Amino acid sequence: MVLGWPVALLLVLVAIEWYLDEIYVPTIPPPNRERVQHTTYHSAAVQALDRFRELSASEREAILENLNYRILPLTDWWPRLRRSDYQIVCLGEDHDEYTRRFLANDIFSEIVTDVLLLEATPKQLARIMGRVDSGKPYVRLLDADIAAVIRTARRKNPSLIVNGIEETGRQEKERQRLKRGSRDETIAANLRETYRSGRQHVILFGALHCKTDPAWLFGFMRSTISQLPANAFLNVRVMGEHQNGPLEAFVYFLDEVGIATGDFVIAETGSLHPFVKKWFSLLNSETLSKFQTMVVFRS
């Protein structure tokens, strides 16, 4: 009887997992269109607007000129990206349905992808690809649909290669046994093993992995694939306008000063006006300073 409960619980968990993978298709509610959803952070927008209005006309004009030049409509970014020398793009996402839908509809429909690298082990990826290839409308990866992303990328490039580079259980145990390395270091090594010279690689991982910090994947991969020049690597944060308070406050400010009314891109985050980075210091420290580019989709 003592062993019966753990076995029964395991069977229930397996049944739930099977249901989620094979049958469940979630109903995704419409996005909340309220302008202010993170009230704690709204004061940053109000204070920034006050400081902006206190500036001289020439100072205000300089800030608006900077924002107009540095913040692009998403559609204007694609030609610039295609002219760049990138070979590996790390897309840092939140694992939610709205982000995945935007990625499928607006990013992978445009970005050139020869090799798509996902946050899944090879075993997990084989299961995912089997479901995608069988025509299942909804396939989970980290609690959000990945099928639409893969299908869109394939329509863009029928020769698309999809690889899973997540650390495997065996790799984790070996790392722990040796008491050295990290999960992201292992993922970077897996990337090196699957890297194909001359191909355009797009990595879709949780946002932290794509930060410029040396302890995360993006930092490791630039040293792991050392034959590529620095401008061959690009890290991009993809966010909805309300995904966190600091970004929502920034978008509110942009709306009030007449900048970026639709989906937009800050192609060079470090080039924003110093006053803007100071006024939105939390967004700057958490996101702008950690990613070369930020893509923001509006509700």
Checking if the pLDDT of 1 tops 90, the result is: no
pLDDT mean across residues, the chain: 92
Higher pLDDT, 292 or 13: 292
Residue 228 and residue 225: Cα distance in Å, rounded? 6
Residue 296 and residue 259: Cα distance in Å, rounded? 13
Residue 266 and residue 280: Cα distance in Å, rounded? 15
pLDDT at 13: 53
pLDDT at 10: 56
Average pLDDT for residues 175-200, to the nearest whole number?
Answer: 94
Residue 93 and residue 108: Cα distance in Å, rounded? 13
pLDDT tens for 13-35 read: 555 555 556 666 777 788 888 99
Q: Judge residue 221's burial from the number of C-beta atoms within 10 Å of its C-beta, 0-12 exposed, 13-18 middle, 19 or more buried.
A: buried
List of residues 6+ apart from 74 with CB closer than 8 A? 106, 262, 263, 264, 265, 295, 297
Q: How far are the Cα atoms of 122, 136, 211, 293 from residue 265, in angstroms, in the given order? A: 32, 32, 17, 7
List of residues 6+ apart from 93 with CB closer than 8 A? 99, 100, 103, 204, 205, 206, 207, 238
Higher pLDDT, 26 or 188: 188
Question: How would residue 85 be classed by pLDDT, with cut points 50, 70 and 90?
Answer: confident
pLDDT at 23: 63
pLDDT at 174: 94
Domain boundaries along the sequence of the chain: 38-297
